[in-house]
Every structure is written in structure tokens, then in C-alpha cells.
Structure 1
Amino acid sequence: MARERLPGRGCCALRRCLLAAALLLGLRLCAELQRAGPQPPALSPPPGQAPRPPGSHLQPAPGQLRGASRRQVTYVRSGRRAPAGGSRSGTPEPGCCALRGRPRLKGPRWQIDLQPWAGPARSLDEEALRFLRYISTIQIECDHMSTDSLATDSSPTKKPWPVCLDDRFGLVHQIRNKQCRLYSLGLGSDDTHFEVGMASNGCEVHRFDPSVKSAHVLESERLWFHRLSIDWRDPHPAVAAQKPYGNTRKLGAILNEFGHHKIDVLKADLESAEWKVLENLILEDVLEQIGQLIFEIHLHWPGFEVSGSDSSVVRFWYSLLKELELQDFRLFHSYKDLSKPQLFLKKDIFNASSCYTLGWVNTRWK
């Protein structure tokens, strides 16, 4: 009698074969994954862009290991050596040179640099002697000065307002070519012989005086009068909003408003406001637009918004004039007005006058 097959024995053998095959397949897949390494997840295409067609990706080059990532490195030659230790900042370094025709922007200045004290005692005598010696010492000789504006006496109606007419400074050429421009800053003075003379010689003259009756008056062919006062401060925002056409401006604002880039001569008789106006011209870099300065300075009191001890006031005055020298201005004229009280900060000392007329020329002026 034939031997009977146990029920279910063939099914068990088939199951064992399938499990063994699945185990071998799993082991092979694990080995392949270990060889290939981790792969980045596939990026989905951005909205609106069609998915990349199959086969458009780069195929690995022959001989390249399967699954190995391939990097492309591009070397750029630079003309600048890297600093020692490398750059730690994330921002790129600026170029070595500025673009031609585009000047570097200067940072704002909020105050002038005070000169060292004249002596260890920091006294008024030390500061006054240094200051008076400085304004009385001519720094550059001017062979040709305008003689029609020089007073032959001490008459208060005519003050000496000389300009340097040497060929090396260019003013005489500007006058001959009728391209000279003069700004005159005043406070109610009736003495305009200097302005009239310069206008008749061919200069375009603008006189700024708050006492002028009309906003702008063309007195003659080349002589303008403007009802404007030169200040060293910006007008208060509330006042500026109520009076957008007020009669107080800084000189830099007037230059921009009038479209003038250069002033051949700047004359100022501001009755003790000259110190703060001069400080503003220095701090806002307006001096480089001026060829010659003719200022009447007043020494009988500190001046508007100039405070401190007497010695510190004189030190401030001296520092302002040294700033002119640092910007290549040289003193070519000094006139001591003997018709004014002989007072220096309300003191009768050093035989000093309370009023001097000083003239500087910009030696870099073209």
C-alpha cells in the first residue's frame, strides 16, 4: 500500500523558499544602499515650471564610482592677496581704489579740532599774544592787490576790502573774462563801494542783507541785492513749515538754491556773527568752493553763541583760523582799524583793536 503524504507539507517547503528568497533580496538591497551612500531627497519643481523630463539629468562619466557625488570647483584669480588669518567678515572687501570722477564722500564733522593751549598756564595773556601775533603776520605776499578799495585814511565810511590779483590765483583772469562771482554778507551797512566797484569791473555780485526792502533787487547790470541773512544754523522745522521762503539761510543752502558751485570772493561783515558762520563753512566743507575770503572780525566780545572763559574763547578763535590754514588758505592782508575802540574782550590790553579786516587766498584755487 502506498505511503500517504502528510497534508500541508508541500506548502511549508514553498513558504521556506519564499522567505529565503526575500531575505537574500533584502540583504542585497542593504548592501547596495550602503555602497551608494545617502542620497538627497528629490526636489519638486517650483510652481508653474514643468517637471524635468526623464533622461535629462547628467549621466556619470565612465570610470566614476557609482553613487559618488561629483563637485565642480572654479578657481578665480584675484589681484589682491588675502590678509593673514583670512577674512572673518561675511561682506566682500571694497576695491583698492575709488572710481575716477566720483569723489569720496567725507564724513560729517560736528566740531572743529581745537589747537593745543598756547602755554602751560592756559591764561588769557598767552592765548591773546599768540592770536594777535597770528593775525598780524602775513603768510603769503600778494604783488598785485586792488587799490581802489583800499582806504587812505581811517574814515569809517570806507573800509579796506582788498582782493589779490596775482596771476597765479586766477581771479584777475576771471574778472577779464567776465566770469567772476562775488558774495557779500552784511547786516544793514550802507557802505557798498566795494560791491559797486567789483560789479563795474566785470564781477557778478550778490549782496545778502536782511535790511533790503525787496526779496531780490537788480541794482545794476551785474549787482544783485537779496533780502537774506546768512546763518550758521538750519531754521527750526516749525518756522520753516510756516515760512518756507524765510529770509535766513546757511551759505551752503544758498549756493545749492542759486545753482552756484564756486565763489571767487566771499566778503563778510557780520558784526560778531562771523565766528559761527566761519565755523559752519569749515564743518560743511564749503571753503573748497571759495577762492578768497575777506572777513571783518570783531574782538570786543566773544561773539554770538561763543561761550567759555576768555582764554578758551581766544583759543577757539585761533583754532578756526588754523583750520583755514589746514585747507590751504593763506593770509595775504591784515588791517587794524584804529577808528574802533581799542578793546580785546572788553579789556584794554596789548594795544589791540576791537576790529580787524583779514584777507585769505585759497592757494589751490583754479
Structure 2
Amino acid sequence: MSPPFKLKKPCLVYSFGIGQDWRFEDDVYDFYKCKVLAYDPSIGKKAHNRTDLIHFKPYGLGAVTDHWSKGWPMKSFRQHLKDEGHLKTVIDYVKFDIDYWEWEVIKSLTKDNILQYVKQLAFEIHLLPVPITKKTDRTIKKTEFIEKFEILKALEAIGFKKFNYRLNPFCGYTSTITGIVRSKCYELHYMNMDFVDTEHLEKRQGHFMNKT
């Protein structure tokens, strides 16, 4: 939330994957008075306004605009922006928690060149498909780790830098190899460095040089 990324009115936030937990959307509205576009095809079939600035629509975020096996309507991020008239609008924050579909979505986002107007990106990663239980019958393979690492590295290649991450304590499982409790879910936060001006970068560089 530091400049130039501090949310301040007027601000625009996209949120994909609500479930029954509106805390993020409500907090963004209560504290920052941002307009929030919230999407989740699993919790209702009718669009409605939760508040004057929180607008809900029953669509999901997918790699392409299509319908998947449960019959939920899915749209690519580009299609969402096009439908809302935001293809060239600066978006302050994009958040998604879409239960392992994030990997295909992130790949599509980096290939589609559609994130240039997004200032911050936050999402949860799942190392194995959900549902995730403590009695999972397998541990993630080395090849899967490498594949997911490369997907995240592609975000850096288009100008995004990770500035925060948090282990999700509700995704714990016992490794079948070591017997140690691990987590399959992490929350990652990225900033678009194109929105960091040269003066700000020089100040930060000077700060770290003085400390050393």
C-alpha cells in the first residue's frame, strides 16, 4: 500500500473467487472506497450490487472464454476487461483465488499481454488440485515444482515483482517422504514495476546503499 500503489479514491479493484467470504471486498470498500468488481459463478446466477461500489457478477476467470464441466460461465481476463470497458483503464488491484485454475490463468495472462494496466496482482497458488486434505495420497513431484516455478517467473519477465507472500495454514498436509507438515497453498502479491517512477526507484536504491 506504499506509494505509488496506495489505494485511494477513485480506485478500481477486480476480485475473482469469493465463496462465502466477502471480507476482502468489504474491507476495500470500507477503508478505501474503491469500486470492486466481484466475480464467482459458484455462489449465484444473478448479478447484484452488494453496495453502491461492490458489483457482483456470476462469471469465473478462465484461461479462455468458455464453459467448463460444471456449466459455469468462464471468461478470460481480457474478455472481462472488454465487457466492462476497461481494456485501457488502470486497475489498482486484481485478486483471484480460483482453486488450482490459477496456473492456466497466469500462463494466459503473461502470454496475452493484458496486465500492462494492472498495478498490483494478488492470488493464491495451490501446489496440487483441490480438495486438499491432510491425508493426501501423494506429494508434489519435482517436475511439477519446476513447471510452476517457470509460470511464476514469466510474471517477472513482463515486469512484475513479488513483494510479499504468506503460507496458508489451512492447507497443511503431512509429507509422505519426510513426515513433516507442509502447506500446499500460498498467497502471493506482485507489483507492476512499470508504475514505479524513476525517482522512487532511485530513492529506494540510495536507502539500501546507505544501509550497507
Shorter-chain TM-score: which interval? 0.7 to 0.9
Q: Which residue of 1 aligns with 2:24?
A: 194
Q: Which residue of 2 aligns with 1:316?
A: 147
Deviations 1:59-111 (A, max 9, x none): xxxxxxxxxxxxxxxxxxxxxxxxxxxxxxxxxxxxxxxxxxxxxxxxxxxxx
Q: Check 1:348–1:181 CA distance in 2 against 1; reply closer, same or farther (3 A cut).
A: farther
Aligned counterpart for 2:124 among listed residues 293, 296, 299 = 296
Aligned partners of 1:299 and 1:343 also within 8 Å: no
Are residues 1:252 and 2:78 paired? yes
Aligned counterpart for 1:203 among listed residues 34, 45, 49 = 34
Instruction: Give distance in 2, aligned partners of 1:267 and 1:288.
Output: 15
Deviation at 1:248, TM superposition (A): 1.7
Deviation at 1:228, TM superposition (A): 0.4
Aligned counterpart for 2:57 among listed residues 226, 248, 257 = 226
Tell me which amino acid in the other structure corresponds to 1:265: Y
Structure that is richer in strand per residue:
2
Aligned counterpart for 1:269 among listed residues 82, 88, 97 = 97
Instruction: Give distance in 2, aligned partners of 1:347 and 1:217.
Output: 48
Query: Aligned Cα RMSD in Å?
Result: 2.7
Deviation at 1:212, TM superposition (A): 3.7
Aligned partners of 1:332 and 1:359 also within 8 Å: yes
Aligned partners of 1:214 and 1:227 also within 8 Å: yes
Q: Check 1:348–1:221 CA distance in 2 against 1; reply closer, same or farther (3 A cut).
A: farther
TM-score, normalisation: structure 1: 0.46
Q: Which residue of 1 aligns with 2:115?
A: 287
Instruction: Give distance in 2, aligned partners of 1:362 and 1:283.
Output: 16
Q: Which residue of 2 aligns with 1:363?
A: 193
Tell me which amino acid in the other structure corresponds to 1:251: F
Deviations 1:335-362 (A, max 9, x none): 1122322367x76677531111111111
Aligned counterpart for 2:10 among listed residues 173, 179, 199 = 179
Tell me which amino acid in the other structure corresponds to 1:247: P
Segments of 5+ residues of structure 1 without an aligned counterpart are 1-164, 304-308
**Percent identical across equivalent pairs?**
25
Q: Check 1:293–1:343 CA distance in 2 against 1; reply closer, same or farther (3 A cut).
A: farther
Aligned partners of 1:300 and 1:343 also within 8 Å: no
Which structure has the larger Rg over C-alpha atoms? 1
Deviations 1:183-213 (A, max 9, x none): 1110x51111111110122111011100243
Deviations 1:226-285 (A, max 9, x none): 10011112327xx9xxx9xx8221110110111013321111111111110111101101
Deviations 1:303-357 (A, max 9, x none): 9xxxxx933222111111111111221111111122322367x766775311111
Tell me which amino acid in the other structure corresponds to 1:171: F
Instruction: Give distance in 1, aligned partners of 2:78 and 2:14.
Output: 12
Tell me which amino acid in the other structure corresponds to 1:263: I
Tell me which amino acid in the other structure corresponds to 2:80: I
Instruction: Give distance in 2, aligned partners of 1:268 and 1:348.
Output: 31
Instruction: Give distance in 2, aligned partners of 1:216 and 1:225.
Output: 5
Q: Check 1:206–1:349 CA distance in 2 against 1; reply closer, same or farther (3 A cut).
A: farther
Q: Which residue of 1 aligns with 2:135?
A: none
Instruction: Give distance in 2, aligned partners of 1:272 and 1:218.
Output: 28
Deviation at 1:286, TM superposition (A): 1.4
Segments of 5+ residues of structure 2 without an aligned counterpart are 132-139, 197-212
Instruction: Give distance in 1, aligned partners of 2:60 and 2:129.
Output: 21
Aligned residues: 183
Instruction: Give distance in 1, aligned partners of 2:52 and 2:21.
Output: 19
Report matched runs for 1:1-366 at 5 Å: 165-167=1-3, 170-172=4-6, 175-176=7-8, 178-186=9-17, 189-200=19-30, 201-235=32-66, 247-260=73-86, 261-301=89-129, 310-342=141-173, 352-365=182-195
